[in-house]
Structures are given as C-alpha cells and as structure tokens.
Structure 1
Amino acid sequence: MKISLINRVYFSTIKTSNSINDSSSIIHEETEQKKKKQWSWKMMKYSLIFFGASISMACLSLIYEISKPNYDENGNIIQDEFNDLPYIQQLYYRFKKELSYYKKLVQEPSRDKLLPDPLKHPYIQPPYTIILELTDVLVHPDWTYQTGWRFKKRPGIDHFLETIAPPQFETVVYTAEQGLTVFPILDALDSQGCIMYRLVRDATRFVDGHHVKDLDALNRDLRKVIVIDWNSESVKFHPENMLKIPRWNGSDNDTTLYDLASFLKTIYETNVDDIRDVINYYRQFDNPLETFRENQRKLLIQLEEEESKAHIKENKHLASKWRPSF
C-alpha cells in the first residue's frame, strides 16, 4: 500500500515537472517569435524609410535636372526669361514650364497635321475621307483560356474594304489603341492595302479621361469627312461628322458592314457636297443604317412603280399611234 502511494506521488511529481517544462518551452517559443516579429517589423520600417528617402532624392534630382539652366557648348548659361529672378524662383518656373510641355505632349496629338497634304494632279485624291474605329467596328477582341486574346473579323469586312478602297474613298483607321496592337492586326486584315493611313493613340487628344479623335488636325475639308464609330465620346468635338453604328459584340449574323458599304457607295455616286447634311438627317434615328436600308427599299418600290407606269403609258401611246393602220 505504501509502495503504491509512493509510486503515485512520484509519477504525479514527474507529470507536474513535465507540464512545467512544457509551459516554459511554450513561453520561450512565444517570446522568440515575438522578438522575430519585432525584428522583422523594424527591418521593414527601416527598408521603407530607406526606399522613401531614395525615391525622394531621385525625384528631387530629376526636378533639379529639369529646372536647372541650360548651358551651351562652351559651358556658358543660355539666357531665358527666368534668369533675372532669384535662383529658387528660376527653378520653380522652369520646372512649371517643362511640366506644362510634357502635359501638352501627353494630352494633345503628336503633330499638327495628322495626314499629309491632299494629292495633286496628276495623282488622284479621293473626294471623301472615311475615318474608321478599329475595335468593335472592324474587329472584336475575344479571350479564351485556350487561345488567350484573339481578334475576330467582322462579317463582310473584305467586301466593305474593297468597296471603299481608293480612288473612291480615302480610308483611315483612327483609334485610341496602341500602335503595337493595331499595326499587326491591320497587316493581317488589309492584305490588299485598301486602308491608306493608320492613326493610333498618340494622334488623339486626351480630354476628361477620354482619348478624343481630333478631326481639326486631319488636314482635310470636314465637309468631306465621315467618321464611323459606336462611341460618341471619341468624336465629341465633331458629332456632325460621326455616323454612329451599333457596337459589334462578335455575332456571326451581323450585316452592318454590308449596309455601310451600300450607304457610302450611295454617297459617292450622288456626289454629296457636305456629308454633314446627310449625317445630321440620319442622327435622329437609333439605327441609321437600318433606316437607310428601309429608305432604299421604298425607293426601289417607287422606281419600279414609276417604271411600270411609264411602260404602260408608252404601250398606250404605241397602240393609239398604230390603231388607224389596223
């Protein structure tokens, strides 16, 4: 009995000492982890401070390089309108001027004339200029896990480009997309060279968060310029030149380009003096090309009726002329 009691006390003492050891080891581990976290946070804080200081110094150096006076090849300061001011003010106003220059470079078209001067005799300058958006007018971007990004051709695009090819029209693709994206697409899309010019993002004007097509910089008579687009914001300075068509979502049953080809061909054949008059008429309709197609259908019916009446009248005239002989 005594031995059993002694054993119980012994084992109880061992368990107690083990639990104490476990508790102390846990406390030790927690202390070590806390120290490591504090050390990591301290190093991160120092790294952020160093990084911030480095960026600040780099920015200050860049500002100084932009703002400091210019020197000629002999090392003499080139005089400008700020040389008479205190040095700090000189730096400030030069920096402000350079900042304004770079802001203008980003927001305004890269050149004053986006297109070359019209062709002169003996070369043929097309009478009308067609401005086409690329995305969701000619092609639609499509993404899948298997292929990634691909661009789908709109149905009827080959027929459309052939219809508006020179010398009937001067065809220009004008888009806010980057040139690295646009040029390979157009190389594959327009193997016959129907598109005469390509204008990309650097030719647009950046206004209120939108890339706007600047028709004033086209170097063309705006009476003869028609813009084909689905986004009114991209031509908001010249809405009278924009024929708004439905945005293509990749449907294979779309016939818009066939209707558009007929519309432009009719303009060319009727020799419209000011394209804006035609566009202003069709702007009142939600789908201008559908309205045009319906007008064409009514015109054909009217012409057939007039032709039928003329034919009947001619037959009556012939009958009255030859009746005495019979």
Structure 2
Amino acid sequence: MKNIVLLAPTGQVGFELNRALSPLGKVIAIGRGQVDFTNLSELMAMIENVNPDIIVNASAYTAVDKAESEPEQAFLLNAELPKQLAKLANTLGALLVHYSSDYVYKGDGENFWQENNPVAPLSVYGQSKLAGDNAIMENCQNYLIFRTSWVYAARGHNFMKTMIKLAQSKENLNVVNDQIGSPTPARLIADVSAIAIVKMLTSDDKAKLSGVYHLAPQGTTSWYGYAGEIFKLARQANMELALKDENFHGIPTESYPTPAKRPKNSRLNVKKIEQTFDLTLPTWQSQLELTFAEWLEYQD
C-alpha cells in the first residue's frame, strides 16, 4: 500500500483530493491544526517520518491582493515550502504533486497559453507561484505541477458562492467582463490528479511524464459570463434573487481597481494533459452545473 501525504486537506482542493486519493493508498493528511506550515523544518520532519511514496501539496498562500503587502509570507508558502518539499521528495524517491496558477503568465493577448510559453507574472502572488514551480523543477526528479485557473467548489469561499449571495441581496451588480479564463472546480482538479498519479506510478519512464500541465475545463468565459451562468442556474433552481437582469452589467478591469494586477488572458491550452494522460476534459458549463447542484445539496 502506498503512503500518500496530503498537505492542507480541508481547503477547496484539499478536501476533494482527500476523497479522490483514498483508493490509491493510505492518505496521511497534515493540516495547519497539526503543524505551523511556516515552520518548514518541523513540517519536513513530520512528512519524513511518514516516509511517503507520494506527497501532494494542496497548501498555498492564495490572498492575491494581500500578497502585495505580504510578499515574504507569500514567497515562504508558495516558493520556499515547495522547494523544501521537492528536496525531500527527491531524497525519499517520492512523487511530488503541486498546484500552480494561470497568474504565472503575463496575461495579455487572446491566444491560449501553452506550458512552454514565456512566463512574466504581473503580481507578487504570481511571482511567488512561479518561484515555487521553478524550485520544484530544479530540485525534484519525479513531479507533477498542475497550473489551473479560477478555482471554485461547493465548499469554501469562492466566486460562485459570492455571486449567489450578492444576487440575493443586491438589485444592481457590475462584474468584470474583459478578463477571460476557465472556471475550474476543485473536484475536477482532484479527479484528474488521481488519474495522472496512477499513470505516473505505473510508468516505466517517470521522467518523461514529469512536468508542468495545464488543468482546466474546455471553453472559456469572462467573470461576467461566468456570473451570468450562475444566475441562470439559480433561477432554474427557483432561488429568489433581488438582482434584476437589466441591472446586471459588464465592466472593464480598469473600473474595478485592485492592489494586485490581474491577467486579462487566462486561457489555458489543455492538449498536453489530455494527450499525455488519455483524458477528455469536460466543458466549464457542465462542471458548473454539477458543482452548483452539489452546493444546493450541501449549502454551507
């Protein structure tokens, strides 16, 4: 039986990974309630004591705007922690699985980003995530880095649930319409991760499979388009919304200033992950329907 260490098992992605990885071996979940993740030496000792075959890092500093004023904290959790995990995984001969972001790209143009495109993050958060990717590639032989975008889930705090709350309480709403990407549910991330891990473990050439992969559904939309689809599903479910259709407007990024600069183009080409792991990724709309239905059942 494989020993699988899962870091941050209660977050959006971590929760789904805890479920998806269970059939693959014994999952040893390590959360922030057990150890301070900024105490890297203590965390590494705890992981080493388990002697894992697989280390899955679902932890991250995700406060994009706050990172602008807390760069040291962002780099500690998004860059130095992955670096230490990479070194430890290499020493133990373990597979390291890590999650990155569309924020590593410069976010301009309209072309879909490919994994080998030049990187030029616009924010401290993006810079810290890129530093983590580079550290893993430099210090680990067997690894999978999944760059994803616009993550949400039935649980936790995310755009889908924020939009529902706003639509229930406000008659007017403006949402950015010139940032383009693909809403990616945590459950899809976890399921695809499990498939990739199995293929990696059974491969005779792990070095060939090690690398960076985009992980997102098919198709793209704007935040405005994403919100509109959420409202459509809410109305189909007979939810009472205060928001009026005529008062729901798309606005440019410049009309909604934030401390951290957002990429306008977060389109991710997913051909590499589909071809490598023999996958057919679903559309973002179908995944939103599933996640919305799950949330209706769950209602946290």
Per the normalisation by structure 1, the TM-score is 0.30
Higher relative contact order structure (alpha carbons within 8 Å, sequence separation ≥ 6): 2
More helix by share: 1
